[in-house]
Amino acid sequence: MLALTACSTPGQVALLRDEDGKVGAVAVSDPKTGAERGQLTAPNTQAGLRPGPLKPKPLTTNYDALLTVMPPAPRVFTLYFANGTTLTAESEKTLEELRRIVTPASEVQITGHTDTIGDGLSNDRLSLERATQVRSALVAQGLPVANAKVTGRGERELKVQTPDNVSEAANRRVEVIIR
Protein backbone atom coordinates (compact mmCIF):
# COMPACT_ATOMS: atom_id res chain seq x y z
CA MET A 1 0.00 0.00 0.00
CA LEU A 2 2.83 2.31 0.93
CA ALA A 3 4.68 1.44 -2.28
CA LEU A 4 1.54 2.13 -4.25
CA THR A 5 1.22 5.55 -2.67
CA ALA A 6 4.86 6.36 -3.45
CA CYS A 7 4.43 5.25 -7.04
CA SER A 8 1.43 7.44 -7.57
CA THR A 9 3.30 10.58 -6.45
CA PRO A 10 3.02 12.76 -9.54
CA GLY A 11 5.63 15.28 -8.40
CA GLN A 12 6.51 18.38 -10.36
CA VAL A 13 9.02 19.92 -12.70
CA ALA A 14 10.60 23.34 -12.26
CA LEU A 15 12.42 25.37 -14.90
CA LEU A 16 15.24 27.60 -13.67
CA ARG A 17 17.27 30.29 -15.35
CA ASP A 18 20.54 28.81 -16.67
CA GLU A 19 23.73 29.76 -14.88
CA ASP A 20 24.68 31.94 -17.87
CA GLY A 21 21.32 33.71 -17.75
CA LYS A 22 19.73 31.92 -20.69
CA VAL A 23 16.49 29.98 -20.39
CA GLY A 24 15.75 26.73 -22.18
CA ALA A 25 12.56 24.71 -22.04
CA VAL A 26 11.34 21.39 -20.72
CA ALA A 27 8.71 19.45 -22.60
CA VAL A 28 6.49 17.05 -20.67
CA SER A 29 4.78 14.13 -22.34
CA ASP A 30 2.75 11.11 -21.39
CA PRO A 31 5.16 8.14 -21.07
CA LYS A 32 2.60 5.68 -22.48
CA THR A 33 1.14 7.56 -25.44
CA GLY A 34 4.03 9.96 -26.07
CA ALA A 35 1.50 12.80 -26.37
CA GLU A 36 2.98 16.13 -25.28
CA ARG A 37 1.17 17.67 -22.31
CA GLY A 38 2.92 20.98 -22.59
CA GLN A 39 6.18 22.83 -21.96
CA LEU A 40 7.77 25.02 -19.36
CA THR A 41 9.41 27.89 -21.23
CA ALA A 42 9.55 30.75 -18.71
CA PRO A 43 12.28 30.92 -16.03
CA ASN A 44 11.35 30.14 -12.44
CA THR A 45 8.12 28.36 -13.21
CA GLN A 46 6.89 24.98 -12.07
CA ALA A 47 4.14 22.55 -13.06
CA GLY A 48 2.64 19.37 -11.63
CA LEU A 49 3.33 16.11 -13.46
CA ARG A 50 -0.26 14.88 -13.47
CA PRO A 51 -2.11 13.57 -16.53
CA GLY A 52 -3.72 16.33 -18.57
CA PRO A 53 -2.43 19.61 -19.97
CA LEU A 54 0.59 21.10 -18.19
CA LYS A 55 -0.32 24.08 -16.00
CA PRO A 56 2.76 26.26 -15.44
CA LYS A 57 2.74 28.61 -12.47
CA PRO A 58 5.36 30.76 -10.72
CA LEU A 59 8.02 28.84 -8.79
CA THR A 60 7.16 28.53 -5.11
CA THR A 61 9.36 25.57 -4.13
CA ASN A 62 12.87 26.47 -3.00
CA TYR A 63 15.54 24.26 -4.56
CA ASP A 64 18.56 26.21 -3.33
CA ALA A 65 19.71 23.40 -0.99
CA LEU A 66 19.56 20.88 -3.83
CA LEU A 67 21.51 23.13 -6.17
CA THR A 68 24.39 23.53 -3.69
CA VAL A 69 25.61 20.05 -4.77
CA MET A 70 25.39 20.84 -8.50
CA PRO A 71 28.98 20.53 -9.80
CA PRO A 72 30.35 23.70 -11.38
CA ALA A 73 30.45 24.05 -15.18
CA PRO A 74 33.60 22.77 -16.90
CA ARG A 75 36.27 25.46 -17.21
CA VAL A 76 38.50 26.04 -20.20
CA PHE A 77 42.01 27.52 -20.01
CA THR A 78 44.62 28.21 -22.69
CA LEU A 79 48.35 28.23 -21.97
CA TYR A 80 50.71 29.85 -24.50
CA PHE A 81 54.32 28.96 -25.23
CA ALA A 82 57.18 31.40 -25.93
CA ASN A 83 59.00 28.63 -27.80
CA GLY A 84 59.47 24.87 -27.52
CA THR A 85 57.99 23.81 -24.20
CA THR A 86 58.64 27.11 -22.42
CA LEU A 87 55.48 28.84 -21.26
CA THR A 88 55.07 32.59 -21.61
CA ALA A 89 55.36 34.50 -18.31
CA GLU A 90 51.63 35.24 -18.42
CA SER A 91 50.78 31.56 -18.92
CA GLU A 92 53.05 30.55 -16.03
CA LYS A 93 50.55 32.46 -13.89
CA THR A 94 47.63 30.64 -15.53
CA LEU A 95 49.34 27.33 -14.78
CA GLU A 96 49.68 28.41 -11.15
CA GLU A 97 45.93 29.04 -11.12
CA LEU A 98 45.30 25.60 -12.63
CA ARG A 99 47.43 24.03 -9.92
CA ARG A 100 45.20 25.62 -7.32
CA ILE A 101 41.97 24.54 -9.02
CA VAL A 102 42.61 20.84 -9.68
CA THR A 103 41.63 18.28 -7.08
CA PRO A 104 42.07 14.49 -7.08
CA ALA A 105 38.45 14.28 -8.33
CA SER A 106 39.05 16.57 -11.34
CA GLU A 107 38.89 15.22 -14.86
CA VAL A 108 41.21 17.13 -17.16
CA GLN A 109 41.48 17.13 -20.94
CA ILE A 110 44.84 18.57 -22.08
CA THR A 111 45.32 19.25 -25.80
CA GLY A 112 48.59 20.53 -27.24
CA HIS A 113 48.97 22.59 -30.43
CA THR A 114 51.81 24.16 -32.43
CA ASP A 115 52.29 26.85 -35.06
CA THR A 116 53.34 25.86 -38.59
CA ILE A 117 57.10 26.20 -38.13
CA GLY A 118 58.74 22.83 -38.82
CA ASP A 119 57.28 19.68 -40.35
CA GLY A 120 54.00 18.04 -39.36
CA LEU A 121 55.55 15.05 -37.65
CA SER A 122 57.83 17.03 -35.34
CA ASN A 123 54.90 19.34 -34.55
CA ASP A 124 52.81 16.32 -33.55
CA ARG A 125 55.62 15.39 -31.19
CA LEU A 126 56.05 18.94 -29.86
CA SER A 127 52.31 19.41 -29.25
CA LEU A 128 52.22 16.18 -27.24
CA GLU A 129 55.32 17.25 -25.29
CA ARG A 130 53.60 20.52 -24.42
CA ALA A 131 50.47 18.75 -23.25
CA THR A 132 52.45 16.16 -21.30
CA GLN A 133 54.45 18.89 -19.59
CA VAL A 134 51.24 20.58 -18.42
CA ARG A 135 49.93 17.24 -17.20
CA SER A 136 53.11 16.63 -15.19
CA ALA A 137 52.65 19.97 -13.45
CA LEU A 138 49.08 19.05 -12.48
CA VAL A 139 49.92 15.46 -11.51
CA ALA A 140 52.60 16.86 -9.17
CA GLN A 141 49.72 18.72 -7.57
CA GLY A 142 47.83 15.50 -6.80
CA LEU A 143 45.78 14.97 -9.96
CA PRO A 144 45.72 11.20 -10.69
CA VAL A 145 47.31 10.49 -14.10
CA ALA A 146 44.26 8.39 -14.99
CA ASN A 147 42.09 11.53 -14.72
CA ALA A 148 44.18 13.51 -17.20
CA LYS A 149 43.74 12.80 -20.89
CA VAL A 150 46.58 14.11 -23.06
CA THR A 151 46.39 14.71 -26.82
CA GLY A 152 48.76 16.34 -29.29
CA ARG A 153 47.06 17.90 -32.30
CA GLY A 154 50.23 19.24 -33.93
CA GLU A 155 49.47 22.01 -36.42
CA ARG A 156 46.04 20.62 -37.37
CA GLU A 157 43.94 23.01 -35.34
CA LEU A 158 45.40 26.47 -35.79
CA LYS A 159 43.82 29.21 -33.71
CA VAL A 160 45.02 31.73 -36.26
CA GLN A 161 45.23 30.49 -39.86
CA THR A 162 48.71 31.00 -41.34
CA PRO A 163 50.69 29.64 -44.30
CA ASP A 164 53.25 26.91 -43.60
CA ASN A 165 56.43 27.82 -41.68
CA VAL A 166 54.98 30.89 -39.96
CA SER A 167 55.75 31.65 -36.32
CA GLU A 168 52.44 32.53 -34.63
CA ALA A 169 52.26 32.94 -30.85
CA ALA A 170 48.48 32.36 -30.73
CA ASN A 171 48.95 28.89 -32.20
CA ARG A 172 51.63 27.71 -29.75
CA ARG A 173 49.29 26.64 -27.02
CA VAL A 174 47.81 23.96 -24.78
CA GLU A 175 44.09 23.93 -24.09
CA VAL A 176 42.99 22.59 -20.72
CA ILE A 177 39.41 21.65 -19.91
CA ILE A 178 38.72 20.93 -16.25
CA ARG A 179 35.55 19.07 -15.31
Q: Which residues bind other proteins (CB under 8 A)?
A: 5-19, 22-31, 34, 37, 39-40, 49-51, 61, 63, 65-71, 73-74, 104-105, 107, 147, 179
* Residue placing its CB nearer to other proteins in the complex, 117 or 143: 143
* Residue placing its CB nearer to other proteins in the complex, 33 or 89: 33
* Minimum distance of other proteins from residue 101's CB (angstroms): 14
Instruction: Report the alpha-carbon distance of residue 42 to residue 164 in Å, rounded.
Output: 50
* Residue placing its CB nearer to other proteins in the complex, 20 or 97: 20
User: Which residues are 87's β-sheet partners?
Assistant: 81
Instruction: Report the alpha-carbon distance of residue 168 to residue 152 in Å, rounded.
Output: 17
Q: What is the layout of strands, in order, in the sheet containing 148-152?
A: 86-87, 75-83, 173-178, 108-113, 148-152
* Residue placing its CB nearer to other proteins in the complex, 9 or 161: 9
* Minimum distance of other proteins from residue 5's CB (angstroms): 7
Which residues neighbour 109 within 8 Å (Cβ) at sequence distance 6 or greater? Answer: 149, 151, 175, 176, 177, 179
* Minimum distance of other proteins from residue 156's CB (angstroms): 14
